[in-house]
Structure 1
Amino acid sequence: MTGHRRRRDRVLTRFAGVLVATGAMVATAFVVASPAGASVAAPTATISGWAATAPLSTARARHTATRLADGRVLVAGGVSSKAVLSSSEVYDPGTGTWQAAADLPVAVADAAAVTLPDGTVLVAGGAGTATELYNPATNVWTVGPPMPEPTYSTTFAATLPNGHIFVLGDIAAEYNPANRTWRALGAAPAMTRPSNNDTTMLASGDVVTLRAMEYSCCMPGAPMTGPSVYHWATDTWTTLPVPPVNPGDRNVTVAALPNGNVMLGGGVLNYLWFPQSAGTVMEVDPTTGSWTIDAGTLYSGDVLVSLPNGSILATGGSSTADVDHVYSPTARTWADVPGRNSDHATLTPLANGTVLAAGGYSDRNYDSSYVVLQNQAAIFTPTPTSTPPPATHHIGDLDNATAASSLRKWQPRVTATVLDATGRAVSGATVSATFTSHKGTLTCVTATNGTCTLGGFSLGRSTLSTVLRVTNVAKASSTYASIANSDPDGDSNGTTITVKRT
């Protein structure tokens, strides 16, 4: 990403009694913004990744968007300029068109929706304990079993590895589609700070959320706790360490990275009348709790989206220039792409690797609070990526030490540090090595800091030195690149080191 642009935080605007969170709107080449029901022709030209597609029949925000089993996308509920909506419609990526679907039994906004194993869609949250089920085959909605406790805030839902549905709003709950029952998840922390896109599911099925983070009282609030992790296999919660830099005291979004970490960005530092973009992008390892500051800065309100090709799209932020950003986890760099001038659009990954953005709102007058709900829709196509080089690791340092085991014996020890191609510590690597004056091969496994120690056997005092030689470093899904072995302090070549008796 290049440069910094003027930023604007979201404000709260009322549409005929409906409270809607709104953000900055900036110029774009193909925005389709219109009141509900208006007919607007959608250009089809592709602009650096984004291409407009047919607009929604109803302009809406705070709606759900769910990919169906057949690849189509169901959009349901939300708010118009006048009321909470019960209408729904279906997008067909094959034809690029929308078709009206049946109305929901209960109008809903800020809900979450997920496709169940049998192909039906569950809509939950945003409307107390009410839930609704949609059958795409019959185009029929039915009232679902009520949630165990009401939730009215922005809701997240995803399918757990056991087929159950994890739902997070003001509460955490689990739905069992097989017997249509709910249960509240015990020992969940208080979800006091719900926000859009503040929760993500990892490949393991565990869930990382920011909405239980605690902040200090003053503006801007500083985090006093880190993100929370729900471990589905044990039905337990843990809290990660506090971020090293304030990610913002509101509007922070998250996305899962291919390496298992979670990226945070797009937050706002709330200085009352003059909110500022937190800017900093960082990631946390949900297993170890270690934090890393990543390159680049984001605009306030940028939403992070995990793309099917492993990259991260940051879109919808507040700036005077209409710019989105794409992060490459392999290169650990950001690239700017023209944006699409829409905030709070739903972003749904499609089966072909593209992403459908639908609805949302936009402020055409940057210095006013006039907000236009949008019926625009667009497709983001990630830049084709070449096959990334295979992951490699190597010895990044060898350090020796000795210890006396008795008056007549001593013990050599060598601490090995294993790094990946980017210089980051590699945990769980098995280092194999031999010592002269000692039979057999010794092994050790690196800790989270990438180090482990070899040796510990005894040699007679008459043996003045011994030489360690690293014979292999094994790590799943990574290749040992011995040619890259090195030692920054120069006491070895990264492969062999001499340990002298002291």
Structure 2
Amino acid sequence: MVIARHDHAASVLPSGKVLVTGRYTTHDGHNTVEEYDPATHTWSPKDDMRQARRGHTASVLPLGKVLVTGGYNNIDGTLKSAELYDPALPSTQSWSPAGSMAEIRTAHTATVLPSGKVLIVGGFGVGGALASAELYGGAAPEKWTRTGAMGTGRYGHTATLLPSGKVLVVGGYGPRGELADAELYDPLTGSWTLAGSPSMTGRAHHTATLLPSGQVLVAGGGTSDSALYDPASGRWSQVGSMATARAHHTATLLPSGKVLVVGGMTAISLASAEVYDPGSQTWSPFATLTTARSHHTACLLPSGQVLVAGGHAGNGPLASAELLEP
């Protein structure tokens, strides 16, 4: 990449290019942006964001714009601002303000709903772990509205859009440490219900992947275990464990229906990768990364390749990127 990054965000645009925003440094967040072109395998700088941020979200909206929300930098602290990137606009004009959330938040989640609205959930803000949630979009594109709050404040959790249009939120850090529970958001009522627990062990900075079956695979988060949530029954079941405990890893649904988990960390950053087979509910080893990394991003490209970019190793943030062939 043009610059070393971790705690950044990566978004696959309708063009197939990958937009990478922000990063963490020891001194500040960063407002730089770059783009990967899979046709030429090159990176190029793009217009800077209006505000430096890391630990933010970046969501591709139905018309191809990218909504960036929240995050943190050392000058402004935790942020409530949001901005929009329009890849169709010329240079110097691609970023515009998108209003402000009701609360400052970082390490939150953002989920694009079937309605086109974006659901922002939890995060770390005033008082610690947030239970609040809010919606962006609708008739007024820059309008933010509150929606129902979760039963438990959390950050470092996952949020997965289910085929029903509901959103499954799992784990994260709560007021007393790692959480083992899950909650389900219904956009029709704006309310939350309990959704059981994938295990007795709390987890944070794990992954949650929607499988073609409609089930959700939750993996890692300081542990090697994985579990399946079945929306039809509302039940959890344990499946095979990964060979390695990991957190701050990535999980990518492959065209085959299998799930590729890459990197992450235990006490150190990991170079290992594993593949989950939903048919056998087991994990198998995948080729080792060239560079151990955690806090990276992984994107499925139109070619079926997986772009792994940036992250953190023992000696700091990484500028390197790798293409994986599943």
> What's the TM-score, normalizing by structure 2?
0.84
The residue identity in structure 1 corresponding to 2:288 is G
In the TM superposition, residue 322 of structure 1 has moved relative to its aligned partner by 3.3
Structure 2 distance, partners of 1:157, 1:222, is: 19
**Aligned match of 1:311 in 240, 247, 258?**
258
In the TM superposition, residue 209 of structure 1 has moved relative to its aligned partner by 1.1
Structure 2 distance, partners of 1:101, 1:378, is: 21
1:236 correspondence with 2:191:
yes
SS of equivalent residue, structure 2 residue 204:
coil
In the TM superposition, residue 355 of structure 1 has moved relative to its aligned partner by 2.0
**Aligned match of 1:373 in 284, 303, 317?**
317
Percent identity between the two aligned chains: 29
Checking the alignment, whether the CA contact within 8 Å between 1:201 and 1:208 is kept in structure 2 is yes
In the TM superposition, residue 317 of structure 1 has moved relative to its aligned partner by 3.1
The residue identity in structure 2 corresponding to 1:256 is L
Q: Deviations over 1:92-113 (max 9, x none)?
A: 0111001110111111111111
Structure 1 distance, partners of 2:302, 2:136, is: 25
Checking the alignment, whether the CA contact within 8 Å between 1:110 and 1:152 is kept in structure 2 is no
1:209 correspondence with 2:176:
no
SS of equivalent residue, structure 1 residue 209:
strand
Structure 2: stretches of 5+ with no match in the other structure: 72-77, 124-131
CA RMSD of aligned residues (A): 2.5
Q: Deviations over 1:193-251 (max 9, x none)?
A: 3116x222223332111257868x5xx8674xx211112233322111233x3343433
Partner residue in 2 for 1:186: 147
**Residues 182 and 286 of structure 1: is their aligned pair in 2 closer, same or farther, counting only changes over 3 Å?**
farther
Checking the alignment, whether the CA contact within 8 Å between 2:85 and 2:94 is kept in structure 1 is yes
Instruction: State the number of aligned residues.
Output: 304
Partner residue in 1 for 2:214: 260
Q: Deviations over 1:134-191 (max 9, x none)?
A: 1212133434232341232213223211122222243422211652133434322156
Matches within 5 A, 1:99-248: 99-126=44-71, 127-137=78-88, 138-139=90-91, 140-170=93-123, 171-176=132-137, 178-189=139-150, 192-195=153-156, 198-211=158-171, 223=180, 226-243=181-198, 245-248=199-202
Partner residue in 1 for 2:126: none
Q: Deviations over 1:33-71 (max 9, x none)?
A: xxxxxxxxxxxxxxxxxxxxxxx1100111121111211
Structure 2 distance, partners of 1:256, 1:338, is: 23
Matches within 5 A, 1:65-84: 65-84=10-29
Checking the alignment, whether the CA contact within 8 Å between 2:102 and 2:146 is kept in structure 1 is no
Partner residue in 2 for 1:352: 303
The residue identity in structure 1 corresponding to 2:278 is P
Structure 2 distance, partners of 1:348, 1:310, is: 15
**Aligned match of 1:300 in 234, 246, 260?**
246
Checking the alignment, whether the CA contact within 8 Å between 1:167 and 1:174 is kept in structure 2 is yes
92-101 or 332-341: bigger deviation: 332-341
1:332 correspondence with 2:276:
no
Structure 2 distance, partners of 1:358, 1:81, is: 19
**Residues 266 and 211 of structure 1: is their aligned pair in 2 closer, same or farther, counting only changes over 3 Å?**
closer
Structure 2 distance, partners of 1:169, 1:291, is: 23
**Aligned match of 1:323 in 256, 272, 277?**
272
Structure 2 distance, partners of 1:221, 1:100, is: 38
Structure 2 distance, partners of 1:148, 1:323, is: 38
Checking the alignment, whether the CA contact within 8 Å between 2:7 and 2:311 is kept in structure 1 is yes
Partner residue in 2 for 1:470: none
In the TM superposition, residue 293 of structure 1 has moved relative to its aligned partner by 1.1
Structure 2 distance, partners of 1:212, 1:58, is: 29
In the TM superposition, residue 286 of structure 1 has moved relative to its aligned partner by 3.0
Q: Deviations over 1:399-431 (max 9, x none)?
A: xxxxxxxxxxxxxxxxxxxxxxxxxxxxxxxxx
**Residues 249 and 156 of structure 1: is their aligned pair in 2 closer, same or farther, counting only changes over 3 Å?**
closer
Checking the alignment, whether the CA contact within 8 Å between 2:183 and 2:196 is kept in structure 1 is no
Checking the alignment, whether the CA contact within 8 Å between 1:175 and 1:183 is kept in structure 2 is yes
Checking the alignment, whether the CA contact within 8 Å between 1:347 and 1:357 is kept in structure 2 is yes
Structure 1: stretches of 5+ with no match in the other structure: 1-55, 269-277, 364-370, 383-502
Structure 2 distance, partners of 1:191, 1:93, is: 41
Q: Deviations over 1:244-287 (max 9, x none)?
A: x334343333222222222222122xxxxxxxxx3221112234
> What's the TM-score, normalizing by structure 1?
0.56
Checking the alignment, whether the CA contact within 8 Å between 2:79 and 2:106 is kept in structure 1 is no
The residue identity in structure 1 corresponding to 2:67 is L
SS of equivalent residue, structure 1 residue 162:
coil
95-104 or 110-119: bigger deviation: 110-119
In the TM superposition, residue 81 of structure 1 has moved relative to its aligned partner by 4.3
The residue identity in structure 2 corresponding to 1:296 is S
Partner residue in 2 for 1:97: 42
Checking the alignment, whether the CA contact within 8 Å between 2:5 and 2:318 is kept in structure 1 is yes
**Residues 214 and 132 of structure 1: is their aligned pair in 2 closer, same or farther, counting only changes over 3 Å?**
closer
**Residues 212 and 84 of structure 1: is their aligned pair in 2 closer, same or farther, counting only changes over 3 Å?**
closer
Structure 2 distance, partners of 1:202, 1:331, is: 22
Structure 2 distance, partners of 1:186, 1:89, is: 33
In our comparison, the structure showing a higher alpha carbon Rg is: 1
